[in-house]
Amino acid sequence: MTTQRFDAPADPLLHALYGDLAEKDLQPLWRLHGLLTPTPAVTAVPHLWRGRDLRDLGERAGRLVPVDRGGDRRVLSLSNPGLGGLPYATSTLWGAVQYLGPGETAPAHRHTPAALRFVLGGEGVWTAVNGDPLAMSAGDLILTPSWTWHEHHNPGDTPMTWFDALDLPLVEGLGAVFFEPGDGRTAATTSPAGHSASERRFGGGPGLLPDGTTTPPPSHSPLLRYRWADTDRALAGQLSEPASQAARSGHAHIRYADPTSGRDVMPTMRCEMDRYLPGHTAPAVRRTGSSLVAVFRGSGTVALDGTHHDIEPGDLIAVPSWTAVRVLAHETLDLFTVNDAPVLETLALYRTEEVTEDAQNVADN
Ligand code: 1HN
């Protein structure tokens, strides 16, 4: 933390200088400390929210709070205990659970912070993104890129909860938040009849793009729904390839990509899915930039800077910058991750490092 030292200098002229500098809103660098730290000084802390708490509290909010109260979304934000009460999961990422009851609609709006949804369980809700209706089922990733209109519908008779992530803290820090409410009308479409337009054009399979596809502007993936069946097949395929790195290590990994360019799905957020088999071993890794992890399936342990947490489906984890993360699977474990790596990479600030147990112990002591 940057602080100014307030010990008064003995020299009266120097004392007067410091007083005059402060009065003119100037600070001498030679009295500032903690500006340039050997490794990142991060205020957010590693933290885990329990899936069962999130489900219970979402249901209670569903019974008590109509969806129109407070921004037309029934959202419980993950508030990192290190961030002084801000509703942010890390310094760059918003994380939340959203609960939509049977028959409810969250009306259209748009904003410059980009959002994504990862569906932890259930089905039946659909989201329209710029009018394109996208079904949401367990394990699906749905994108609502910056400044796209989006609305959620639950026409079924069961409630649904999903994980929301936004780059809101980052966009706020850059002074670039804009918001526009819709006119109250919903998209003309009433339900996603089969595939959405985005999936029909860009979800045909690996390397299968519609005739006449030209490179889109480098903003976000034109495919807005990544189905669980495809993600699952890709992970299983890596693990069943006998000589593959994944099969040897018991760890499969995919990065969700723009099918036309291979770039990350959105300019500010990278999405990944890891599958860990029981018994796999890998060193702890830390990297610059922050991540949110959603436990989709399985069980295991995650060590955050050497502190172990048992994890189960629905748990959400904040991983601030430079936190050492190590995962152990008890049963086959599927972890969804969103992070700000594209931003760090673009700015040439992305670093990653393996942390041995020895180094970990030294850091802990
Ligand atoms: C938002 O628009 C949604 O559309 C969810 O589902 C969470 C958190 C902050 C700001 C806007 C949504 C949000 C949000």
Give the single-character DSSP code of 217.
P
Residue 298 token pair: 């399985």
- Phi, psi (5° rounding) for residue 236? -65, -35
pLDDT score of 184:
77
The two structure tokens encoding residue 128: 């329209």
Task: Report in angstroms the alpha-carbon separations of 64 from 68, 101, 304.
Answer: 12, 11, 35
In which residue ranges of the chain is pLDDT below 70? Answer: 1-6, 69-71, 187-194, 214-218, 357-365
pLDDT given at position 123: 87
Report how far residue 140's alpha carbon sits from residue 135's, in angstroms, rounded to the nearest whole number: 9
| 107 neighbors 153 (Cβ within 8 angstroms) | no
Residue type, 280: H
Question: 129: CA distance to ligand 1 center in Å?
Answer: 13
Q: In CATH terms, is domain 47-364 a member of 3.40.50.10860? A: no
pLDDT in the model for residue 21: 98
Nearest CA to ligand 1 atom 1: 73
168 CA → ligand 1 middle, Å: 9
| Cα–ligand 1 centroid distance for 145 (angstroms) | 12
Please, are residues 112 and 309 in contact by the beta-carbon 8 Å criterion? no
* The pair of three-digit structure tokens given for residue 34, joined into one six-digit string: 């903690």
pLDDT for 192: 64
Using the structure block, give the residue that is written with the tokens 């670039």.
176
Mutate to test the pocket of ligand 1, among 147, 163, 164 (most ligand atoms within 8 A of CB): 164
Q: Distance between alpha carbon 32 and the CA centroid of its chain, in Å? A: 33
Among 194, 130, 117, smallest CA distance to 160 is for 117
159-212: per-residue pLDDT in tens? 999 999 999 999 999 999 999 998 877 765 666 666 788 888 888 877 788 877
340 Cβ contact list (under 8 Å, min separation 6): 92, 93, 167, 170, 268, 269, 270, 289, 290, 291
Question: In the prediction, which pLDDT does 201 show?
Answer: 84
Q: Is the pTM of this model over 0.75?
A: yes
Give nearest CA residue, ligand 1 atom 6: 73
Residue 273: what pLDDT?
A: 98
Ligand 1 centroid vs 73 CA: distance in angstroms? 7
**Site residues for ligand 1, CB cut-off 6 Å:** 73, 75, 94, 96, 98, 111, 115, 150, 152, 164, 166, 168
The pick from 67, 68, 72, 75 for probing ligand 1's pocket by mutation, whose C-beta has the most ligand atoms within 8 angstroms, reads 75
Domain boundaries, the chain: 47-364
